[in-house]
Amino acid sequence: ETRLSLSRALIALGAAAGAVLHDAAAHPEPRVREHALATEELRRDPDAGFDLAIEEAKRRVALGPYGDPA
């Protein structure tokens, strides 16, 4: 719930959150990267479910930079 609320707040900030999400997507902590990637997905597709976005982000983080579909 907390991460979903934070994602919604970041999305509401619009472009101002872009740099923060970009930096967070490169953070050394996997959970931070996952959350940033999931938030980006929700920003691109507001109809995407948060749980699905988090699971996809976990997969991307686990695959590493070469598994990222950039």
Domain count, the chain: 1
Instruction: Check residue 70 and give its pLDDT.
Output: 47
Tell me, yes or no, whether 68 lies in a domain. Answer: no
Express each pLDDT in 9-50 by its tens digit.
Answer: 999 999 999 999 999 999 999 999 999 999 999 999 988 899
37 within domain boundaries: yes
Half-sphere exposure of 45 (CA within 13 A, CB side): 9
- Phi and psi at residue 21, in whole multiples of 5°? -65, -40
- Position 66 scores a pLDDT of 60
Q: How far, rounded to the nearest angstrom, does the alpha carbon of residue 70 sit from its chain's CA centroid? A: 13
Domain membership of residue 15 (yes or no) is yes
Residue 69 falls inside a structural domain: no
Residue 40: is it exposed, middle or buried by C-beta count within 10 angstroms (0-12/13-18/19+)? buried
The whole-angstrom distance between residue 25's C-alpha and the CA centroid of its chain comes to 7
